[in-house]
């Protein structure tokens, strides 16, 4: 048993290390074949047509906002119970973040609240919605798509918590997170606490060919290298009858949001074990649920939900601070996800305050994320459970 148990952690195998070493010895450290390979395998894994690998999940969100044309003053709806980046990407483009409250049972953005928000303003007020598959619990994107179509909105699915997760659509079919069936774009992160680790890294998936090409261009400075798409004339380019070999055009203001080949190699190697990791996460969730159901100190929990990818196992408890500190004394580093985004000083400055999102705020007062990662052993999990029960004296 390790002497310290975090809430989440990466799992690096000997094979992972070998593929990184091989890549370091190859011709490409970046812009090479490992990236394309990772993109193809990842698209295949989630069931989307296209995938674009980028530097991190935040860069993925920023590129999505740019590709969708978010600009000054555009209003976009998201949940306050998420990592700040889900909202910040709109601010990068000068847009306005409109938080909408969560469903206290699922902890996900409450579609009925979003509906109320849309109905209470003239059509055209909002541009898009960013639902988050919080904790790994897949959002019903079919319902969001219907609503979005009514109001002419785009959808970015923040699926950072949910590679391999799914929801069942109205016909009973499994719809995997990030498969591009309902959301215009979906994003993932490969930070070490997430399911698939590449150090830093991110991915955007989509079924929209036009958005896909925009993303590729924006990922590399807005530069295009394609004879068919140039805007300047051949005469200008320096050639006579055709564009010379060096020629390229910067047609939009893009960024350098590329991932490296050795990160992509690591991500690819990790992706091979994704299903195994997901299965372990489900087993861990089963065990928590079994131990904690009907316990009086438990006010709510992630539970066992088909299609949940269990990035986190969340419980709502009495005396959360006491439990958090008691676990720390025992080297168990549970975590809180999240301090509501609208109460961060930055967003308070923009006009948000306590009382704006009652469900999110109540949730925050008693939530705690228990250790959840594939290599958490049964013995370690039993230790965590016994310490929690010890704290509540049951």
At closest approach, how far in Å is the CB of 86 from ligand PLP?
Answer: 5
Q: Please tell me whether residue 198 binds ligand PLP under the rule CB under 6 A.
A: no
Touching ligand PLP, residues 122-151 (CB under 6 A): 132
Phi, psi of 6 (to 5 degrees): -80, 175
| Number of other CB atoms surrounding residue 386 within 10 Å | 12
Nearer CB in complex with ligand PLP: 56/269: 56
Would you say 191 or 280 has its CB closer to ligand PLP? 191
HSE-CB at 164 with a 13 A cutoff on CA atoms is: 20
189 binds ligand PLP (CB under 6 A): yes
Report which residue's Cβ sits closest to ligand PLP: 57
- Give me the least distance between CB of 130 and ligand PLP, in Å please: 9
Binding mask 45-64 for ligand PLP (x = CB under 6 A): -----------xxx------
Task: Write down the least CB distance from residue 56 to ligand PLP, Å.
Answer: 4
Q: Which of 67, 114, 156, 160 touches ligand PLP (CB under 6 A)? A: 160
> Exposure of 42 by Cβ count < 10 A (0-12 exposed, 13-18 middle, 19+ buried)?
buried
Tell whether residue 263 is a contact of ligand PLP (CB under 6 A). no
Spatial separation of the C-alpha atoms in residues 165 and 167, rounded to whole Å: 7
**CA–CA separation, 178 vs 48, rounded Å?**
7
Distance of CA 201 to the CA centre of its chain: 11
Those residues with Cβ within 8 angstroms of residue 105's Cβ, 6 or more apart along the chain or in another chain? 300
* The only residue of 45, 83, 182, 292 in contact with ligand PLP, by rule CB under 6 A: 83
- Token reading at 144: 């969001």
**What number of H helices and E strands is found in the chain?**
14, 16
Question: CA-to-CA distance for 242 and 233, rounded, in angstroms?
Answer: 10
Footprint on residues 325-384 left by ligand PLP (CB under 6 A): none
In degrees, to the nearest 5, what angle opens at C-alpha 311 toward C-alphas 189 and 144? 75
Nearest-angstrom CA–CA distance, 42 and 360: 32
How would you label 192-212 residue by residue, b for 16+ Cβ within 10 Å and e otherwise? bbbbbbbbbbbbbbbbbeebb
Number of residues this chain uses to bind ligand PLP (CB under 6 A): 14
The span of 81-89, 98-106, 242-250, 339-347 binding ligand PLP (CB under 6 A) equals 81-89
Residue 381 CB, nearest distance to ligand PLP (Å)?
22
Exactly one of 10, 23, 82, 269 binds ligand PLP (CB under 6 A); which one? 82
**Quick one: 241 exposed, middle or buried, by C-beta within 10 A (0-12, 13-18, 19+)?**
exposed
Using rule CB under 6 A, residue 85 touches ligand PLP: yes
Nearer to ligand PLP, 10 or 86 (CB): 86
Choice between 32 and 199, CB closer to ligand PLP: 199
281 lies in the site for ligand PLP, by CB under 6 A? no
Determine which residue in the list 158, 184, 316, 361 makes contact with ligand PLP, applying CB under 6 A.
158
Identify which range of 2-10, 157-165, 167-175, 241-249 contacts ligand PLP by CB under 6 A.
157-165
Shortest distance (Å) from residue 258 CB to ligand PLP: 14
- 300 φ, ψ (degrees, to nearest 5): 175, 155
* β-sheet bridge partners, residue 55: none
Assess 161 for contact with ligand PLP (CB under 6 A).
Answer: yes
Q: Which residues bind ligand PLP (CB under 6 A)?
A: 56-58, 82-83, 85-86, 132, 158, 160-161, 189, 191, 202
């Amino acid at each position: 048993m390790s002497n310290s148990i975090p809430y989440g952690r990466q799992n690096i195998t000997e094979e992972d290390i070998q593929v990184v070493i091989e890549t370091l010895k190859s011709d490409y450290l970046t812009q090479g074949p490992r990236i394309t390979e990772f993109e193809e395998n990842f698209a295949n894994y989630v069931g989307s047509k296209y995938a674009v690998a980028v530097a991190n999940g935040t860069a993925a969100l920023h590129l999505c906002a740019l590709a969708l044309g978010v600009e000054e003053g555009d209003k976009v709806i998201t949940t306050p119970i998420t990592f700040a980046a889900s909202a910040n990407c709109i601010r990068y483009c000068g847009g306005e973040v409109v938080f909408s409250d969560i469903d206290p049972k699922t902890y996900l953005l409450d579609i009925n609240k979003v509906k109320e928000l849309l109905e209470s303003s003239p059509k055209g007020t909002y541009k898009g919605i960013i639902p988050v598959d919080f904790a790994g619990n897949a959002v019903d994107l079919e319902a969001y798509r219907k609503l979005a179509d009514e109001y002419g909105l785009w959808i970015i699915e923040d699926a950072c918590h949910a590679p391999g997760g799914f929801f069942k659509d109205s016909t009973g079919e499994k719809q995997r997170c990030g498969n591009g069936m309902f959301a215009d774009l979906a994003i993932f992160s490969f930070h070490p606490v997430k399911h698939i680790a590449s150090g830093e890294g991110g991915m955007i998936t989509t079924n929209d060919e036009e958005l896909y090409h925009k993303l590729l261009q924006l990922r590399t400075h807005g530069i295009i290298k394609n004879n068919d798409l140039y805007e300047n004339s051949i005469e200008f380019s320096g050639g006579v009858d055709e564009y010379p070999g060096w020629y390229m055009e910067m047609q939009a203001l893009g960024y350098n949001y590329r991932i490296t080949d050795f990160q992509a190699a690591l991500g690819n190697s990790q992706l091979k074990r994704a299903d195994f990791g997901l299965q372990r996460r489900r087993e861990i969730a089963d065990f928590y649920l079994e131990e904690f159901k009907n316990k009086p100190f438990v006010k709510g929990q992630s539970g066992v939900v088909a299609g949940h990818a269990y990035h986190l196992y969340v419980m709502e408890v009495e005396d959360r601070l006491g439990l958090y500190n008691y676990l720390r004394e025992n080297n168990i580093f549970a975590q809180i996800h999240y301090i509501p985004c609208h109460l961060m000083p930055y967003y308070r400055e923009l006009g948000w305050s306590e009382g704006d999102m009652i469900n999110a705020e109540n949730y925050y007062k008693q939530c705690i994320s228990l250790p959840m990662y594939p290599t958490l052993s049964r013995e370690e999990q039993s230790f965590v459970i016994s310490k929690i029960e010890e704290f509540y004296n049951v």
